[in-house]
Amino acid sequence: MKGVILDADSLGEIDLSPVTDLLDEWQVYGTSGPGETLERVRDASIVLSNKTPLTSETFSAARKLRLISVMATGTNNIDLDSAKKANVTVCNAMAYATPSVVQHTISLMLALATNLPAYIRDVKAGAWQQAPVFCLLDHPISELSGKTLGIVGFGELGSAVASVAKSFGMKILIAQKHGEQLPNRLPFDELIQEVDYLSLHCPLTSTTENLINSSNLSKMKPSAFLINTARGGLVNAPDLLQALSSNLIAGAAVDVLETEPPPESDLLTNACKDNLIVTPHNAWGALESRQRLVLQMADNIQAFLSESAVRLVDA
């Protein structure tokens, strides 16, 4: 039985032995382009992929394929209908990066609250060295305590962010899911008008695509901040830039973009400034989280080899 890892570079420097020790034969590729994937999976029984697409063409060519273990929670890169028709089991990873994403989300909130990018820039430029007093207070600094955090997507990540935010003394508001009626939830249109920080933790669907657009941004407080560590497509980038330049909101921090890696012409990466922070989709990437992911992949394979299954993904 042969195993293939299509995009091991997406995990960085990490110990893969919990996975590779399970089969006698493995082919481990750093990345796999569109013209390489078919040949690489043709004789594989087990395939691990993070973001490399596996299409209907893949399943037609890979006749021995029996298990796909997705090295992420999202499975947008897998044609699940074709996998089901080909009798291929698909598993994923769950809750492996919660501590990492939570600390990154809170870090972004703190960076915006303390105007950290502006003060780092000033120190590098020598402004502190030339200051007439012992400190610099040229940019506003605010506390998280007493502020209102709105959370869109109150699952594993959203609820964990809320728990940490409460320890800072923040008030938490939770957005209603589309079509649901639950107590202690606010319609999104109402929530965005009340929050000082809006943090996105929902999946990208036809309902949530471009959720943050000019219409919704115009309803937010001019002192409000947006945080997105979920999916780039939730935010309309041109509308966000317009909102920032016209002071409709005070700032934004994003860890995800619609296209990754971004092209040289990407709007947000080219517009980074004091009130716009962009990080390179690494909120999930703490060493502990990545090793936890590898262990979940090993667990998926072991369960499959034992003729059981865990973390199954349905078409």
CATH 3.50.50.60 fits 98-278, yes or no: no
CA 106-111-116 angle, 5° bins: 160
Which residue is catalytic, options 36, 143, 190, 260?
260
pTM value? 0.92
Q: For residue 173, which phi and psi values (nearest 5 degrees)? A: -120, 140
Per-residue pLDDT tens for 205-215?
Answer: 999 999 999 99
Decide if 139 is catalytic: no
Q: Give residue 197's pLDDT.
A: 99
Domains 2-96+287-305 and 98-278 are alike in CATH topology: yes
Q: What is the pLDDT of residue 229?
A: 99
Active-site residue, selected from the candidate residues 231, 258, 290, 292: 231
What per-residue string of b and e applies to 61-71 under the rule 16 or more CB within 10 Å gives b?
Answer: ebeebbbbbbb
Give the DSSP per-residue string, 62-108: -TT--EEEESSS--TTB-HHHHHHTT-EEE---SSSHHHHHHHHHHH
Active site residue 178: no
Q: Give, for 308, the enclosing helix (H) or strand (E).
A: none
Q: Of the given ranges (9-18, 130-139, 222-231, 303-312), which has the lowest mean pLDDT?
A: 303-312
* Residues with Cβ within 8 Å of residue 307, at least 6 apart in sequence: none
Q: What is the pLDDT of residue 278?
A: 98
Domain boundaries, the chain: 2-96+287-305, 98-278
Summarised one tens digit per residue, pLDDT across range 259-277 is 999 999 999 999 998 899 9
Mean pLDDT within 278-306: 98
pLDDT digit string, tens, across residues 161-199: 999 999 999 999 999 987 777 778 999 999 999 999 999
Structure tokens at 218: 């115009």
Which two tokens mark 255?
């860890």
Q: In a 10 Å sphere around its CB, with 0-12 CB exposed, 13-18 middle and 19+ buried, how is residue 105 labelled?
A: buried
The per-residue pLDDT for 315 is 66
So what's the architecture of 2-96+287-305 in CATH?
3-Layer(aba) Sandwich (3.40)
pLDDT at 178: 75
Q: Give the number of residues written for the chain.
A: 315
* pLDDT (mean) for 37-59: 97
The yes-or-no answer on residue 231 being catalytic is yes
In angstroms, the CA 69 to CA 76 distance is 13
Residue for token pair 């020598």: 126
Residues above pLDDT 70, as percent of the chain: 100
